[in-house]
Amino acid sequence: MADADPSASDRSDPQPHRSLADRVLPAERGVVPADPGQGGGAATPSFALPDGAGSGMPAQPAPLAIGPRTFAWGTRTFVMGILNVTPDSFSGDGLLAAGDEPVAAALELARRMRDEGADLLDVGGASTRPGHASVDVADEIARVVPVIRALRETLPEMPLSVDTTQPAVAAAALDAGAHLVNDVWGVADHDGVARVAAERSAPLVLMHNRAEASYTSLMAEIVADLQRALERAVRAGVPWEHLIVDPGFGFGKTPAHNLALLRGLPLLRALGRPVLLGTSRKSTLGKVLNLPPQERVEATVATTVLGIAAGVDLVRVHDVRENVRAARMADAVVRGWRPDGWEGER
């Protein structure tokens, strides 16, 4: 048997020992020297914040004006009603499915949601369910713009959101009267939607999503992806105070992932932004209970309460009345919210 060529590894790796080179570490800055003479804690060195740096400790987000209302985060949970101007919504509530005049149907549903306690309404013109068919941008605009314009005229006191992934749709919706952009692909590298929001001074929801449900560490990756999305949006010109995050329940995640996401919701508080949770009628709820979309109200309410206990600030739902009632009860326990005229001490 021939002897191995001792130079073979050298030929495949022109620098065989480069991994053993000395590391050059960054120079430390902001070190507070030790002062043994003072004793106590001053006896050992430490770090101080650089000039102009924030504390790095997430605080309660400041109140945010969304259209005609100001949302004081932490005082109670806010409820977003869903208006799907589509023929193929997974939950069967698409306003184009029954062939009705969509603007009139949207106004009727919006009035009911307002009366049931919705704090804002989210209008979408393209299905985002798993396996959905793509919608041409012009068609999506044609669906959402007339509805948003009519809602703005009829319910001027109601904040309006547009649910889209397309910059042109976001721009057209904001021009028609929407106040907030809800980007269900907020973690994508493309910053077009964020730039539209920045140009029009509109708040922006950044939702987590993936093309396939592949993770090494689910919650760590969700938080990291959202942190990068926040930084990208800020670079695009969106003020930090205008940003909201959504962990993307049901988007690029298996049912097991979604249940783990619900358990891990408190970790999102590390991002320092208000959290939106959208579980309403989704397939994970149906798989747990073996129920169709229209029979998932109680399951949605359960996840709303769990979300509030974990610190979420908004819930996006189809069934407003039931979720508003559940949210108020949970808020009374978790956040100390009390109704007007409260007489609990007598």
Query: Quick one: CA dihedral 228, 76, 297, 144, positive or negative?
Result: negative
**Of 133, 193, 190, 123, nearest to 158 (Cα)?**
123
Q: SS3 for 19?
A: helix
Which member of 114, 143, 281, 282 is catalytic?
A: 282
Nearest to 176 by CA among 151, 199, 155: 151
Report d(CA 268, CA 245) in Å as an integer.
8
Dihedral (C-alpha) 8, 12, 17, 22: value to the nearest 10 degrees? Answer: 180
SS3 assignment, position 338: coil
Q: 243 with 273: CB under 8 angstroms?
A: yes
Q: Known catalytic residue: 29? A: no
Q: Which residues pair with 65 in a beta bridge?
A: 70
Cα(279)–Cα(326) distance, integer angstroms: 14
From 114, 232, 296, 316, active-site residue: 316
Q: Where are the alpha helices (DSSP H) in the chain?
A: 8-12, 102-116, 137-154, 167-176, 192-199, 218-235, 255-263, 283-289, 297-309, 320-334
Q: How far apart are CA 82 and CA 266, in angstroms?
A: 25
Question: How many other CB atoms are there within 10 angstroms of residue 112's CB atom?
Answer: 13
Give the sign of the dihedral formed by CA 225, CA 227, CA 232, CA 238: positive
Provide the residue type at 60 as one letter: Q
The answer to whether residue 253 is catalytic is no
CA distance 238 to 17: 46
Instruction: Measure the CA–CA gap between 288 and 253, rounded to whole angstroms.
Output: 15
Catalytic positions, written as ranges: 282, 316
